[in-house]
Structure 1
Amino acid sequence: QHYDIVVNGVELGGGSIRIHNRDVQKTIFEEVLQIPPDVAQERFGYMLEAFRYGAPPHGGIALGFDRLIAMLCNSESIREVIAFPKTAKGTDLMSDSPGSAEAKQLRDLHINLRVPKPQEKKADEN
């Protein structure tokens, strides 16, 4: 079941009842998403196992806050009201984020990066 919140022909949000049946979820993984059974078991086995014991129907709903504000302001485009716009690549034009963190910032947060070194090409690989 899927629900939409529509005001004056504008979709402001939506929601749905989530899959809570093991057999339905397994069919979605294998037949719709084409995930091989062994991969589905490796990635989602915990969920399929939990569904074996039964899960109550559950769902969610979300409101598009930017869409609501655009409607209330009579904006022609949602872009006019987006508080923190991003580029197509997901970067912030004002703060240039996401960006690289300085070594001190990483130390302060106790974050240790382990980045593999690029492999050098052998002489016979051209």
Structure 2
Amino acid sequence: DMDLLGTRPYDVRARAYDCVLNGVEVSGGSIRIHDRELQERVFEILGMSREKIRAQFGHLLDAFEYGVPPHGGIAAGIDRLMMAILGTENIRDVVAFPKTQSHQDLMLGAPSAVDQALLDELHIKVVPPTKPS
């Protein structure tokens, strides 16, 4: 499908795969791009300028110069698998460590303040955000 990339990018197929159980996607994966020229073309099709590509992904493109073998994988969504097994429609019912809508972990009381002695030991300075005037 590479011949379609410049003219009909929405018709280009990927080497991607999903595992679906009773209509629920429980894992997915793909073979990743392992060619520098192709990766640059995809960034350009996405509307990125050469400067932005270089600034954000230059390290990745440079690594391609050393040779990247075809690679890929699959990632299991254990939480989604548990949803299918338990017959629930809300992922919050099965997440082991759920967070509130404000991203707090009520079981751990996180986020929380860090002891100043630990921050000093690690040479970390906390700068609180300033309120807009």
Asked if Structure 1 and Structure 2 have the same fold, meaning a TM-score greater than 0.5 normalized by the shorter chain, the answer is yes
- The answer for the alignment partner of 1:31 in structure 2 is 45
TM-score (normalised: structure 2): 0.72
Could you say what secondary structure the match of 1:40 adopts?
helix
Deviates more, 1:61-70 or 1:37-46: 37-46
Structure 1 residue 6: deviation in Å?
0.7
- The answer for the alignment partner of 2:77 in structure 1 is 64
Q: 1:36 to 1:99 in 2, by over 3 A?
A: farther
- The answer for the alignment partner of 1:124 in structure 2 is none
1:19 aligns with 2:18: no
In structure 1, stretches of 5+ residues that fail to align are 122-126
What are the Cα deviations for residues 73-115 of structure 1, in whole angstroms up to 9, with x where unaligned? 233432222111112332212333123322123235x142163
- The percentage of aligned residue pairs carrying the same residue is 44
In structure 2, stretches of 5+ residues that fail to align are 1-14
- For 2:90 and 2:117, the matched residues in 1 are separated by 41
| Count of residue pairs brought into register by the alignment | 117
Structure 1 residue 45: deviation in Å?
1.7
> Residues 65-80 of structure 1: matches in 2 within 5 Å?
65-80=78-93
- The answer for the alignment partner of 1:106 in structure 2 is 119
Structure 1 residue 41: deviation in Å?
1.5
Deviates more, 1:88-97 or 1:7-16: 88-97
TM-score (normalised: structure 1): 0.76
Match of residue 102, structure 2, among 63, 73, 89: 89
Structure 1 residue 25: deviation in Å?
1.0
Could you say what secondary structure the match of 2:25 adopts?
strand
Two-structure CA RMSD over aligned residues (Å): 2.4
What are the Cα deviations for residues 20-69 of structure 1, in whole angstroms up to 9, with x where unaligned? 1111211222330x332123213322221222343111112111111112
